[in-house]
Structure 1
Amino acid sequence: MIPLVFHPIYSQLALPYRHRFPIQKYQAIRDALQQQGVPDSWFFQPEALDPRQLTHVFDADYLQQLCSGSLDVKAMRRIGFPWSQQLIRRTLTAAGGTVLTAQLALQYGKAINLTGGYHHAFADFGSGFCMLNDLYLAALAMLRAPGIDRVLVFDCDVHQGDGTAKLAQGDNRIVTVSLHGEKNFPHRKQISDMDFPLPKGTEDQAYLDTLDTALTLAINLYRPDAVIYDAGVDVHIDDDLGHLHLSTQGVYQRDKLVFDTCAEKSLPIAAVIGGGYQRDIAALTQVHLQLFNAAGVGSPSDRLP
């Protein structure tokens, strides 16, 4: 069994007409996996995190203002969503989903959250559709487990994982690696442990060569005990916000290389689907499904009797 973490609230958020964020994609991925015959027993439903228990990671004033709806207009504009109580419930549940995914990965070897990758969230502000940095929270959760002394956050979203890099600075237990578009959001990059900026128009082979180098270097140099993988598909050639030129097959090869490498090294891996911004939800869903295909979700060899 490969645990899959999902909650209907992932797609339950009213947004303005033509809003840039494709909120429908999470339920669409869940439906597509069900249509492929993935059993319900593989799905785990997370609970919302308690914001009162997050003040050791995030600024207490920021948490209070975020959850109460008292952040100023400029701060909410930087986040990119209109505030609502449902937004906060969804945010806390999505972050809880990534933490649960990390815990399940340690138990089963690999697990996937059907949302996640909110890597632009910092300790005291949100940015780029991200309010709570679930990747950092998941890394901390893994570090609380016996035998896990170092976690690699391997971020392949087209946008640099700036919030994760900043949060993990000074903590050598969390290693941050980012492959991202050089000329893309955020315009002010942070310093990850390893950064691999890619030029506009990068295609499959050049991307995969860089990925192989980055992952091999990170594992050999830092010797992590577990991996958190942000598998954003905004690297795809048809993505509205990406500027890279990976094919669907290239996305599959990327994800399979990450899963296979972790399997060879006996590293548990928790994956999140990350960004993806095609307006065509059906087409976007097919690209996101490559992560699940690469993990072996739905293949006969991975099914329970």
Structure 2
Amino acid sequence: MKIAYHDIYTHPLPADHRFPMLKYELMATQLLREGIITEDLLFTPEPAPEEVILLTHTREYWHKLQQQTLSDREQRRIGFLQSPALTQREIVITQGTIDIALHALEQGIGFNIAGGTHHAFADHGEGFCLLNDFGVAANYLLQQKKVKQLLVIDLDVHQGNGTAALFAHNANVYTFSMHGAHNYPFHKETSDWDIPLPDGMTTDAYLVELTAALPVLIDRVKPDLVFYLSGVDILDSDKFGKLKVTAAGCRQRDELVFQALQQRGIPCAVAMGGGYATHIKDIVNAHCNTFRAGMDIYGY
């Protein structure tokens, strides 16, 4: 089992970028301190090559990221001021998702300590996402004929609008998003299957919904590999999530996904996605629970 991580996920970034990225550094520290993982499981991705990025993103947009020529409006849409460090971070994270997907095909499961940048479209970024790591990884696997059918299970509280748009006309990638109906993005794209959730949905109701959907989804798609976006912004402590799922319920969610896949022999590539609780320890603990659940169920 391999875990993509590099300190470029947090360093060197401008001060206004640094705090939202802090959880990635703290996750690695906590996983190591608790003995959930060992140093030898961590690896440093190389930057994704241009030709791989261009399988998904337009050349014009890619050049704007390279040359730091995004307009003020484009930067506001992303939510970050552009910087070479931020662009480099996204390129490395994207390759990390490719690498852990390839590893999952061989070993069952792989994790990216960052990733899940599902609001990035082919020609623009938004919602703190510059490049769509699942999109790039999926197109790479298909181009290399590593897989024939892919499934994206997106359980971040925000709809994976960029991913839905990227694969709207690609039958080889099935997109599933279970998200807050009244949360960002306020204009939703159309996934292959969307389940919009009402504000205030409790743990029990959430798990009932997911338990009913998973076997139908997996049997319908029969994927060679699943990309799982395990955002923890469904937590009741999240500042923006609007749902009422407990930390225990969030871990049960992960267990449901991993059990459904492992029982059918389906490999899984996991990226962390969002999490915006008031106390960063709540975010880190919930993300670490995803690692605990995946490693337990896949036998690590």
Q: TM-score range by the shorter chain?
A: over 0.9
Matched AA of 1:33: L
**Cross-structure match for 1:112:** 111
Q: Aligned partners of 2:108 and 2:142: how far apart in 1?
A: 15
Secondary structure of 2:269's aligned partner: strand
Moved more, 27-36 or 44-53: 44-53
Partner of 1:255: 254
Name which of 26, 29, 38 aligns with 1:28: 26
Contact 1:58 1:123 in 2 (8 A): yes
Match of 2:233 in 1: 234
Structure 1 window deviating more from structure 2 (254-263 vs 140-149): it is 140-149
Tell me by how many angstroms 1:50 deviates.
2.4
Matched residue, 2:69: 70
Per the TM alignment, residue 83 of structure 1 is displaced from its structure 2 partner at its CA by: 1.1
Cα distance in 1 between the residues matched to 2:19 and 2:128? 8
Structure 1 range deviating more: 271-280 or 100-109: 271-280
Equivalent pair of 2:55/2:136 in contact (CA under 8 Å): no
Distance 1:295 1:53, change over 3 A: closer
TM-score for the superposition, normalised by structure 2 = 0.95
Alpha-carbon spacing, 1:20–1:157, altered in 2? closer, same or farther (3 Å): farther
Change (3 A) 1:63 1:146: closer
Q: What aligned pairs does 1:93-112 form with structure 2 within 5 A after superposition?
A: 93-112=92-111
Distance in 1 between the 2:276 and 2:235 partners? 10
SS in 2 for 1:112: strand
Mapped partners of 2:107, 2:145: distance in 1: 15
Q: Deviations over 1:9-65 (max 9, x none)?
A: 111253455x69621000100000110122111112111112354223211111101
Matched, 1:47 2:42: no
Q: Separation in 2 of the partners of 1:213 and 1:148?
A: 27
Structure 1-normalised TM-score? 0.93
Structure 1 residues 16 and 174, CA, compared in 2 at 3 Å: closer, same or farther?
same
Give the whole-Å Cα distance in 2 for the aligned partners of 1:139 and 1:170. 14
Distance 1:142 1:208 in 2: 31
Does residue 151 of structure 2 align to residue 152 of structure 1? yes
The equivalent residue for 2:129 is 130
Contact 1:20 1:277 in 2 (8 A): no
Structure 2: segments with no counterpart, 5+ residues: none
TM-aligned CA deviation for residue 146 of structure 1: 5.3
Residues in 2 aligned to 1:142 and 1:227: alpha-carbon distance in whole angstroms: 12
Q: Would you say the 8 A contact 1:15–1:82 is kept in 2?
A: no
Change (3 A) 1:187 1:213: same
Q: CA deviation at 1:181?
A: 0.2
2:239 equivalent to 1:207: no
Which is further off, 271-280 or 117-126? Answer: 271-280
- Letter of the structure 1 residue corresponding to residue 290 of structure 2: L
RMSD of aligned alpha carbons: 1.7
Distance 1:296 1:71 in 2: 40
1:209 to partner: Cα distance: 1.3
1:283 CA displacement: 2.4
CA distances 1:106-163 after superposition (whole Å, capped 9, x unpaired): 1110111100110000010000000110011122233346562100000000000000
